Copies of this chain bind each other. A is one copy, B any other.
Amino acid sequence: ISMTCRLPNLTVRAAAGLLNPLSIPNKLLTGPGPSNQHPEVSAALSAPLLGHLHPEFTKIMDDVKDGIRYFFQTNNDWSFAISGTGHCAMEAACMNLLEPGETVLVCRNGIWGDRFAELSRRLSLKPVLLSQPPGSVFTPEQLESALQQHRPSVVFVVHGESSTGTLQPLEHLGGVCRKHGALLLVDSVAAAGGAPLLTDDWLIDCVYTGSQKCLGCTPGLGLISFSEAARRKILSRKVPPPSFYLDASQLANYWGCRTTEPPDQPVSARRYHHTAPISLVYAAREALRLVAVEGLPAAWERHERAADKLRAGLQGRLGQRLFVSKPQDRAPTVTTIAVPEGVDWKAVVQHAMAKHSVEIAGGLGPTAGQVWRIGLMGLNATEAVAERVLAALEDSLKAVGVATPNL
């Protein structure tokens, strides 16, 4: 072959470490995510690849859309996956729902409100913060008064605040937003699938989550859904969103959703938009199937039961204080424990991992250094896993010299 003569010389050699085959230990992932994955979801990841416009693949995309509608309890036409993580879905929601100069009311009681405000500033929006101390939630009255004062286009609120361990009651927020002409945007990354979420009944205009928490799927996909009002706002934008990759109207077309008015027009043919992450879509399809087979009420109850077991053990046998003081504000998905005065939180985390292969996470953002975080989500939301985490934490507390009650 003539090419042999003109092949250039390499100047960069491969590093020795890269040449070893991959080797991954087994761990119990009971931090705030990712969670462990169901074996059927792992198996789906290894299925043969298909092209991103092959009919067998677009059928799987249709299943994913159906699965998302069930997962979020919505009939929204625009329900699809984002080819990025839950954080990427947050950016997609922000940049599609809002245009430069618009006001967004950001309910901030943990890191995710701060993050959303930062995204908003990067996108030249006008974020207005409505703050509550970490560990507490918002009332409809607080929201209404802020809506009257600031007249935002969109309200951002976090369902499960993974940095603090709260679960925001959402039932009555949508009505308040609608009354004041604002769309309600909900971050349910650390709650959907593990706590009740009724998108349509609760008048939520946009909700998103990540694949790696209560869905029990590998990280890398965001699931998102837009109401008709959100869809209309997006389709009547003055300028397109800054990203083509995350442009919801382009994605909606690729996902076989309706992108034209009136509603009775036929759906346009799918156009190539980007190469979907084929294997992740397979995995999400299987994870959504497993949720549908179990049924959401059973999954919600399972998460609640596991969390109850964990909280009881933490407060009883282990003598620890939960960071979220009001029981009704505690998320069933992520539980936060106040680190006792003088205790080296990191040593506890390291001991639990080194001796038990159990993940207990430290705090994040406003709770950094102040809490431990335990996530019982997806596959891990069982009383047996709660017990395993309690045993690991008990041993780790003892190892660093914390006295735990002997009951």
Contact = CB atoms under 8 A, between A and B. Distances in A.
Given A24-B56, A83-B85, A278-B34, A12 B75 contact: yes
A263 interface: no
A100 to B, nearest CB: 10
Contact of A46 (B4, B12, B42, B54): B42
A51 interface: yes
Interface stretch (A174-182, A279-287, A312-320): A279-287
A122 B244 contact: yes
Interface in A179-200: 196, 198, 200
A50 interface: yes
Tell me the number of copies of this protein.
Answer: 2
B33 A293 contact: no
B242 A123 contact: yes
Interface residues of A, number: 106
B37 A49 contact: yes
Contact of A3 (B63, B86, B304): B304
A34 B244 contact: no
A83 B218 CA distance: 13
Interface stretch (A141-149, A294-302, A389-397): A294-302
Interface string A181-224: 00000000000000010101100000000101000001110000
Contacts of A11: 73, 198, 200-201
Contact of A292 (B19, B27, B88): B19
Interface stretch (A129-137, A227-235, A269-277): A269-277
Contacts of A43: 46
Interface string A381-393: 0000000000000
9 contacts: A10-B297, A11-B201, A14-B292, A15-B66, A34-B275, A49-B212, A219-B275, A219-B277, A277-B277
